[in-house]
Amino acid sequence: MAAPCRDLTGLRRGLAAARLAPGRRGANKLCLAPFHHRAPPPQQQQGRRRQRQGLKVVAAISEDLPRLAAPGTGKGAPEGRRPEKVLVRAALTVRRKHKEDLKEALAGHLDALWDMVGRSVALELISTKIHPRTKKPLHSGQASIKDWCQKRGVKGEHVVYTAEFMVDSDFGEPGAITVANRHHREFFLESIVVEGGLPCGPVHFACNSWVQSTRELPGKRVFFSNKPYLPSETPPGLRELRDKELKDLRGDGTGVRKLSDRIYDYATYNDLGNPDRGKEFIRPILGGDNIPYPRRCRTGRPPTDTNMLAESRVEKPHRIYVPRDEAFEELKQGAFSSGRLRAVLHTLIPSMIATISAETHSFQGFHHVDNLYKEGLRLKLGLQEHLFQKIPLVQKIQESSEGMLRYDTPRILSKDKFAWLRDDEFARQTVAGINPVSITRLTVFPPVSKMDPAIYGPPESSITEAHITGQLNGLTVQQAVDEAKLFILDYHDVYMPFLDRINAIEGRKAYATRTILFLTKAGTLKPIAIELSLPPSKAGEPRPSKVLTPPADATSNWLWMLAKAHVSSNDAGVHQLVNHWLRTHAVMEPFILAAHRRMSAMHPVFKLLHPHMRYTLEINALARQSLISADGVIESCFTPGPVSFEISAAYYRDHWRFDLEGLPSDLVRRHSCRCPIPVCSCLFLPLSTDISSSLVIRRVAVEDASQPHGIRLLIEDYPYANDGLLLWSAIRSWVESYVQLYYPDAGTVQSDDELQGWYHETVHVGHADIRHAPWWPSLSTPGDLASILTTLVWLASAQHAALNFGQYPLGGYVPNRPPLMRRLLPDPERDAAEYATFMADPHRFFLNAMPGVLEATKFMAVVDTLSTHSPDEEYLGEERDEPWTGDAAAVAAHDMFTADVRRAEEAIDSRNADQRRKNRCGAGVLPYELLAPSSPPGVTCRGVPNSISI
């Protein structure tokens, strides 16, 4: 029996205290059984998965396993004796489903019977060594799980099975294990621990994978131990397996993918439309020379009947393919299905009512909106009891799910029900709301468009100094510009090319908006001018536009409210289509696909990225199925409608830059130029480049080496940026420490074929349409690698959390942030009758301009689901239950990361109690918690998961 390993917790403490030096590594020195789980600190217990689900089982064998000596005179053995035989035992932890339907229960019994007649689960150990004569990896004999049938009736989520091997004492360290599932159905294998009389001590295999039946996928599954190896350091016995596993994961690029497959490949977004349903469901293919876009996961479905370039769709409730291990696990699937059920219920009722009475298409008063939270849809809309008796499904809903007909009160109403009406709250949400990443500094006045003046007319804005001079606290416009007091939300160029098509849609009306905000002495912002523009009637002519300023009377107050609603609608579209979907969900998918295709599970960089890739392919596939597809939720609920993803693609083509997606770079770079073309050379200049007078930089931060994070914010009380920089710093320190463990110099980065293959494929295949852009970072040094990985972890965790989990709490009250508008501002010259209607009843006109009941309730139901943390959420910096790596130095570095994230959370809590920070503390002001790392399950308006999982 091997000597007992050192206490892991003591090892962690020692390494953490030593503060690891660059290049020092503890790989291959960590014993892994049994593990001692440390309880999380009280302030983070609520967010821990193990607190919610119970402690995860880590299988280990505690009893002594004997060495069995076999006398002989084998060649090379001491004193002419053959190597002695050693008994080695493997303990497999299998996770069962919480609930089984009848079919699954019968399959389980069948597998137990199948096991009894020898059709069992078979395993084989593979050594890190090779045979000295054959030069092939050393294999153990095949062993079968011996207690599967006996443990069929064992209760509990986790079941530990065992198998025994007899190997030579010089077998070496097991580096891989193969599993052949000869039962009828798949099972979820969490981990394997191998221990016995081998000198290496226990070896841990973190599997976390579905093992398919050999009837479904012939062949054996391979799992590698949790020790990280760079490709050049791969033990001889594992090299061939390492290459073969990656080849299998890549597939051959052909065929229709089965749900049980584990193949990662690329395709364009050619499945958003459904031309077979009619021309109104045709959508352009995103990805390619015509409309550049990131690639998505290939499914291989056949083309539609009417367009050979469009892929046929899989509609709900049928599942859309993602590699098997990327699919939601049971807890996540249950939570998501529950949310989808709520969406169905909330959509079903208003749909029926909309067919019964035309009067219910619009909200009749603000109290009717409030009744969605108080009385529920049934009471609010006056649905008669006899209708429930006539419609069995609705009757069942009434009997079993009455509570699901009522919406939770959004958090935005919790402290001040009327805050949304105030200008300061409208402005506060630009730095502490759902979309805090669009505000930029205004450095030239009036604002200037980049669009072609031959088509869209003169580029200058219609806002003049006369409009805003009285709002600047005694400053001239130039003084306000020079002193960084003016900021802007500029959606003019985003919407202008699409407005004619949007406004031709029944029930959709939009402007291209600009909003100028002034930074007050109190550190808060106030809107001082809103410009609403429409396309010119003829190419090159001036654009029709209105400029509104803070109101001075009742009429101008209602017009100002309508103008703010149109700005919010523009903002909601950009938030969802660009900042949320494109800049987190879509751009991450190629990095994830390439990681699985090009980096082994043994690769240290894959181990770093793995938690940040969880569920992303599945949630993106579900989005293609029902959210971003033709006539899906996004098109139904947001102003751009059918042109939504052309707007998203235009931003990707013209503005997205991976090198500037990290938080500090994004805060410094937010800029525009006077060039009249969509993309100009100034977009490709590095930050250090001297800027000519033709370039106008719009920054909300400036580089400042004296500041803790290397930048100085121009809006000091900027909750998203303030808190984001804390998490960015923690992520950067963690990633840099981790990279130093494996890459001491540039040579090790450049010679890593898997690493270079991953990055090259991401750029040249996953982002193929912009692969030649000069701004792609190089991957030549440890610093380059740390920068790229820090940005990826940031996008998958904190950036996505800031843009996602406030959608219902802060946007679920539709008047505060309407996702679409149905009317332009009333204009006596354009429509005298409509203007008279507005003057007679501005309250009703405002409500009729907002989404109707059907759009509003569908939108609310969906963003409620999207804002929900599932019970199995894994949060940034959370202590990891399983032994994810065999490198003690990496474990110690992650412990320091955990401590950094914990300190960041404490700092955020302190800031939210600081009354000097008026954008997050004050009478009726909501605290900013979207970047507070931990959260319980549910809609909490806080919490930073590791990955884009919803």
Q: Which residues belong to the active site?
A: 580, 585, 800, 804, 950
Cβ(727)–Cβ(931) under 8 Å? Answer: yes
Q: Report how far residue 296's alpha carbon sits from residue 265's, in angstroms, rounded to the nearest whole number.
A: 8
Letter string b/e over residues 682-694, b meaning 16 or more CB atoms within 10 A of that residue's CB: bbebeeeeeeeee
Q: What angle do CA 51, 52, 58 make, to 5 degrees?
A: 65
User: For 170, what's the count of Cα atoms within 13 Å in the CB-facing half-sphere?
Assistant: 11
Which residue reads 């090198």 in tokens? 659
Q: Give 232's strand partners.
A: none
Give the DSSP letter string of 74-117. Answer: -TTSGGGPPPPEEEEEEEEEEEPPS---HHHHHHHHHHHHHHHT
24: left (phi over 0), alpha (psi -120 to 50) or beta: beta
- 3-class secondary-structure state, position 653: helix
H, E, C per residue of 186-243: CEEEEEEEEEECCCCCCEEEEEEEEECECCCCCCCEEEECCCCCCHHHCCHHHHHHHH
Per DSSP, 394 falls in state H
CA dihedral 151, 94, 200, 242 (to 10 degrees): 140
Instruction: Look at phi and psi of residue 201 and say left if phi exceeds 0, alpha if psi is from -120 to 50, else beta.
Output: left
- Residues 191/177, Cβ–Cβ less than 8 Å: no
Phi-psi region of 699 (alpha: psi -120 to 50; beta: other; left: phi over 0): beta
In single-letter form, the type of residue at position 631 comes to D
The secondary structure of residue 487, as a DSSP letter, is E
Per the CB < 8 A criterion, the answer to whether 128 and 200 are in contact is: no
Q: Are strands 143-144 and 266-267 parallel, antiparallel or unpaired?
A: unpaired
DSSP 555: H
Task: Tell me how far apart the alpha carbons of residues 527 and 427 are, in angstroms, rounded to a whole number.
Answer: 6
Q: In 3D, which of 171, 195, 175 has the Cα closest to residue 237?
A: 175
Which single residue is written with the structure tokens 């894959």? 606
Residue 174 buriedness (CB in 10 A; 0-12 / 13-18 / 19+): buried
Of 547, 532, 447, 533, which is closest to residue 487 (Cα–Cα)? 447
Beta bridge pairs of residue 224:
176
